[in-house]
Each structure stands twice: as C-alpha cells, then as structure tokens.
A and B are shown apart, each in its own frame.
Chain A
Amino acid sequence: MPAEFEIRLTVNGKTYRGRCEPRRLLVDFLREDLGLTGTHIGCEHGICGACTIFFNGEAARSCLMFAVQADGAELVTVEGLAKDDVLHPLQQAFHEHHALQCGFCTPGMLIAALDFLATNPAPTEDEIREGISSVLCRCTGYVNIVKAVAAAAEVMRTAKSSEQGE
C-alpha cells in the first residue's frame, strides 16, 4: 500500500487539510473527503466536463488530476459562485433562461462558461457554442444554455463598466 500524503488546499476561500493515497482523484477528494458534492463526476476520463473546476484560476478537469497534485492550490467549485445567498450573474441567467434540465452538467457548465467569458467577455453566439463545447449536456439543452451565457455576458460587462465608472 503506497504511503498516504497530507495535503492542504484552499477551496472557495476556505483552507482544508486532508490525507489521501496517491490514486485519489481530485474530484473524489472534493466530494468524498471534503463533502463538496456540487462538483459532479460523469465520465471519469475527461470527456464530459461535469467535474470542471477552477484550479489556480483556470478551468480544469478534476477527474484528470490526483488530489495530491492540488497540495497548495486554490480551487473554486460551483459552491463558491454564489455570494451571501445571492446567485452569481451566470447562475441567475441559467435560472431565468431555463438553462438546466436534469442539472447534472450544470456545475461544469457554469465553471467552463465563466472561464470562457474571462477570455472572451463579448462573445458571438458561435463563440459561445465553441466556448461551452468542453461540457456535454445529455439533455441536449444547449439552446437555453447559449442564451443564458449570452445574457450573463451582458450583465457582467455592464457590472464591470459601472464598477470602472465609479
């Protein structure tokens, strides 16, 4: 049995410590060890994107990393998006545009879309479709997801420009 490793990481601004054997996938560590079950596990081989999280500020698949690799890292998961019970503008847009059906892909979809909007704050519809292509929605509810991402992009741009204007 390989030695266990002690790791320390920050998730949604809170510091956690834990022990894990090397083969513990990061997504399993989040769900099973830290109880943060918002991040979902779908395919476990990097195709479906349900497990997408922010790893040191960039979206990444948490099923393709070992927990031990996250020692010292800063993570953001879907639980970290809403602030004080106020939904993030992207979550609000998903709510308003009915951009989730079964909801299984939604945690990954939100993180992937946020990362995409950080690289492209004013995307065209085609760019949004490409931007969210890293996450599969098996309900095939893409039309409303694209609408929600476009709406959120606008809200986030307006918020940013009014921030800068103040």
Chain B
Amino acid sequence: MKPATFEYYAPASVDEALAILERYDGEARVLAGGQSLVPMMNFRLAMPRAIVDLNRIPELAYIEEEGELVRIGSMTRQRRLESDPLVAAKLPLLREALRWVGHLPTRSRGTIGGSIAHADPSAEIPMVLQVLEGEVVARGPQGERRIAAQDLFHAALTTSLAPLEIITEVRYPAMPTQTAYAVEEFARRKGDFAIAAVAVTLVRDGERCTKARLATAGVGPASIRLREAEAVLEQKGLSEDAVGEAADKAAAQVDPASDLNGSAEYRRHLTGVLTRRAVSRAIGPGT
C-alpha cells in the first residue's frame, strides 16, 4: 500500500523541529531512519497529519567521549556505529548487538535514537540501553531532561517520552576494559525480529562476580533487566550451578506473550537457555 497524505517538514535544527511538533499538538510524527515508521505508514497503521523529518539536522549525528561517558547523537546511523572505533573500544556490547539489528541496508538508514523511541519489544538497541544502564537526553517545550533506561520503556511501542519531545542524545557509561559481555539471540532467520534475546555484562574479581547486568528482548512488552538472575550471579559467582540458577530465575521473571513466532512457554524456555549461553560465552571457555 501507499502512505496516506501528510504535510512534510525537514527542519534544519532541533528548535525548529520542536516548534513544528508543538504547532501540530500531537498530530505530527518525528521521522528518524524510517525503517519502522515508514512501513507503518505504508500499511496505514500510522497516518500522521505531518512528518517532521530529522534527517536534515546534522547536529544530531555524532559519537563523542566525555570522561566515562560515550555520547551518541540520536540520528547517528546504526551502520556508522557498527564500524566506529570508539564504539568498538568503549561499547563492544553495542557493536556486537548491532550485528543482530535488521540487515546492512536497513542499518544504513536506521538510527540509534529512532530504535529507542520506537521501542519495539523485540529490538536489540533498547536491550543494550537497559543492560549498559544508559540514558537518553530528550528535548521538549519545557526544555531538556534525561531519562534513565529503566524509566524509559513502559510497554510495546510505548516510552515515557512526552508527545512533543525528541530524543537528541543517547548516553552510555563506557564499559570498563575487563568487562565480559555477550549477546545471544534466537530468530528464525538472520535479521528477523528476535523471538528471544538476552544481553549480559559481567565484571569479575577473581572467582567473584562483582557486577552482573542482564536484559532481554522479545520476551515481554518491553525490554527489562533480569534483576533476580543478576543477584544470583553477584551472590554466588559464576560456577555452572550458579549460572544454571540464574538462567532459571531469568525464565521465571519474564512475561512473554504467544504469537505466530512462538508460544509464551517457548519464549520463557528460550530466555533460560539464552541466559545460560550468554553468561557462558561471556566468561569464555576454561574459566
């Protein structure tokens, strides 16, 4: 199908974009990379009165380091992040996760901020924001505010962003050099939406695990942290038994739905399996 008619604006600055959004009072949609919104418009699942296209705002595309933070402009393309040396050095988990995001031609256009604002339950980028405890910077009529990952994702396609706000920046604490990490995902075909995915980061001190972070995609209405599994690893270490217990906790914590791709029970099972695989691969063989 073809999209319904809409008014089109391509502002040159965030201020200008915000002014247009305000003028349409909730009836305009922000267009980032378009890899989710345009299909919805082609199907007429989305019929906004106006489109505010952020693709002509160069100030929203950057990757910078500031102290212990990596700051990424919301319109930075996924493809650029994939090959960026700073991302490879400071956020290797994000780099690994990006390989699971759609395909190279969709990553050419898809942006980091667009994926987060869209908040698809099976998307990898929100999962990475959760596991790395990142935050977004949002600008709106009332000015600028920061929203932590744990306060951002409410339900499928639903965030705590206000209708007139735009994500301008995504921030991640740089991963400490010794962080072990892995992303494990199950999808029917490469590049398909995740049926289930788990991302993990681990900081170790000898036999102990001083910090464990785990988050999901595809197994609930929004990406969540697997806090009970994290607690098991932090309290009991990374023995096979502890990892098995963490996997059981992970499976028990999630609340997946059934659909054509898999039943709730199947997704719950996968959550446990992928948790065990992710932790095992992160810590590596022989440890």
Interface residues of A (CB under 8 A from B): 1-3, 5, 21-23, 25, 28, 44-46, 49, 52, 55, 58-61, 63-66, 68-69, 112, 115-116, 119, 129-131, 133-134
* Complex: chain A residue closest to B53, CB-CB: A69
CA distance A49 to B128 in the complex (A): 27
Specify which chain A residues have a CB less than 8 angstroms from the CB of B95 in the assembled complex: none
Q: Provide the residues of chain B in CB contact with A25, threshold 8 Å.
A: 2-3, 42
- Which B residues have a C-beta under 8 Å from some C-beta of A? 1-8, 10, 34-35, 38-39, 41-43, 51, 53, 55, 79, 102-106, 108-109, 189-191
Output the least CB separation between B34 and chain A (Å): 5
Contact B6 A23 (CB under 8 A): yes
Q: Complex: how many Å from CA A130 to CA B191?
A: 9
Evaluate contact between A49 and B105: CB separation under 8 angstroms: yes
Q: Is the Cβ of A63 less than 8 Å from the Cβ of B191?
A: no
Q: Name the one of A22, A55, A116, A129 contacting B8, with C-beta atoms under 8 angstroms.
A: A22
List the A side residues contacting B51 at CB < 8 Å.
22, 66
Contact residue among A2, A45, A49 (Cβ-Cβ distance under 8 Å from B42) = A45
Of chain B, the residue at the smallest CB distance from A65 is: B34
Q: Which of A5, A21, A64, A69 has the most CB of B within 10 A?
A: A64
Establish whether residues B104 and A64, one from each chain, have CB atoms under 8 Å apart when the complex forms: no
Q: Cβ of A112 and Cβ of B105 under 8 Å apart?
A: yes
Known: A21-B5, A46-B35, A112-B104. 13 other contacts (CB 8 A): A23-B2, A44-B2, A46-B39, A49-B103, A52-B105, A55-B109, A58-B79, A64-B109, A66-B38, A68-B8, A112-B105, A133-B189, A134-B106
A2 to B9, CA, bound (A): 11
**Which of B1, B102, B104 has the most C-beta atoms of chain A within 10 angstroms of its own C-beta?**
B104
**B159 → A minimal CB distance (Å):** 22
Within the assembled complex, what's the spacing in Å between the Cα atoms of A44 and B44? 12
Task: Chain B residues near A115: list those with CB within 8 A.
Answer: 104-105, 108
11 pairs, CB–CB < 8 Å, chain A vs chain B: A2-B8, A3-B7, A22-B7, A25-B2, A44-B1, A60-B109, A64-B106, A69-B10, A112-B105, A133-B190, A134-B105
Q: Contact at B104–A65, with CB atoms within 8 Å?
A: no
Report how far A68 CA is from B6 CA in the complex, Å: 12
Q: Which residue of chain B has the shortest Cβ distance to A129 in the bound complex?
A: B190
Which residues from chain A contact B79 at a C-beta distance below 8 Å? Answer: 58
- Which chain B positions have C-beta within 8 A of A2? 5-8
Q: Decide: B38 and A46 in contact? CB cutoff 8 A.
A: yes
**Which chain B residues border A131 with CB–CB below 8 Å?**
104
A163 to chain B, nearest CB (A): 24
Chain A residues with CB below 8 A from B5, complex form: 1-2, 21-23
B99 nearest CB neighbor, chain A only: A130
A29 to chain B, nearest CB (A): 12
Min CB distance A158 to B, Å, is 24
